[in-house]
Structure 1
Amino acid sequence: MNDLDCDHDDPAQYPTDDALDLDRALTIATDLAAWASETIRHPRAGGVREKAGPADIVTQTDETIETHVRTVLRSAFPTHGIEGEEYGTHAPATPNAPYWVVDPVDGTTNYAHGIGWCSFSLGLAAPDGTPLLGVVADPWRGETFTAIRGRGAHLNGTPIQAATHTTLTGHIFLTEWAAHAHWPGLDSLLAALSHRHCTTRVMGSTALSLSQVAAGRATAAAIGEFHAVDGLPAYLIGTEAGAVALPPVPAYDEPLLLSAPGVAEEMAELWRAAQGAEA
């Protein structure tokens, strides 16, 4: 992770360049991740507001981080689009320009209640949605997951790989609820995993849960609704670490499963059976 000094608050430090330089983009993204992590670790200021309902909330920290990220990205990449969790979509200046996706605090409910499991998620995608770059930062563990398409995945600069397990038994499956609710097929899937003595954890951050598969900590992870702002960066990190995605290309609002390669077939069988049971 890059350490930040006060100059990093000034977006003018990054020269404007419309050419797609993924190394430069990653440097800016990891700088932003370090800044966001430091902001999240500070004592929380301001209250908590509801968005769509009591289980969908936002804090001043979410808004502060996303505002700063948008300012830096629009200065450094003026033709790029931006899609954010709190402030929606800023369209690209040209039809063939890539776009950024950002979730300033993925796991706001945990953050707002003082539970140290949330993340900062930032990614870059091609105009057709193909992920090009992903960054997921865990402020509490001092970890930053990164990936550039075709170059593998890294944790704090060190290459990582999905687990080499060949069975679900004795290992960990991570998932997330859809806000406060289970998603279709989840209950059947959890029952099948339990029968195999595979332990499930619901941690509270989509980006972090998916990233644990990349780090080899979780054997598999699944979400009921894929959203690019918190799912695309971790999806790229996971697949670049060798995890198998089902479906191979995620679709908006549809379920996504990431599995270590040695359990991908077993996990896919349970996944399809669970979805069929609750269709």
Structure 2
Amino acid sequence: MHSSSISLCVPPPNSSLLNKSHKKCLDKLPFAPLNSQLCGLRNEVLRFSFTRFKRCEQHRVRKFVRNNVVSGLVAENGNAPTLFDYDLVIIGAGVGGHGAALHAVEKGLKTAIIEGDVIGGTCVNRGCVPSKALLAVSGRMRELKNEHHLKALGLQVSAAGYDRQAVADHANNLASKIRNNLTNSLKALGVDILTGVGTIMGTQRVKYGKVGFPDNEVTARDIIIATGSVPFVPRGIEVDGKTVITSDHALKLEFVPEWIAIVGSGYIGLEFSDVYTALGSEVVSPLFHFFSAIYFFKTAVL
């Protein structure tokens, strides 16, 4: 195991950026060069406890210390000092990448996250969140159709119906709300959001960019790969988005087929079986057990 040495030169702090109570804490910093063994810039190296500040203020103080108090050069294995753009770069802004970014900021690391699509990844945009929104609708539909149960409660309800587009909008709006919340939380904590497809170019170097635009490159002491997943499509199967679709298409609820065969009996297949039967589709039984989540549709027209 090799270690990295860092020489920290700590000048007197610019107290104009902080209030008096903050300045008292910063005044306790040792204003002299320190030599320590560490991995990354951590608060313990400064012998300075960020817990002296309120939780809502800790990020501001960490940023101040990193940008205005600490100037350091890291030399590894006796080589020339090296500076990085970030302590940590995360490729993928799904739930995993978002959680990693929050933890990194909590530890005082300068962090960036790269996303080639939308913040939130599979779970928020094409998985857990919209599917649970559709399941909530299917559950209500089943309750409204259960005349025997409603009658026992003394309730009388006319024939239950639904607006397909309104149901689809409900799922999409919920995903959009959570996606915006995740984005705002990253920005509020000072995490840089880099847009584009991330590619590791070498040791501690990452390239990112969009098709048709110039690529950018950043360096980082550490890199986390959190790229998520996409639906698996077996060889020989052509997904046309109409008669053969994946779970991504199914969540959009662009139409409700007369009958549907679901290939895959995992939780994804079971969830869609519940949703589409509640909305009036006939699900082919039994569910085919296979290694995919491809959905075969046949409408009344076909």
Fold match (TM-score > 0.5): no
Give the TM-score normalised by structure 2: 0.25
Q: TM-score, normalised by structure 1?
A: 0.27
The structure number with the bigger radius of gyration is 2
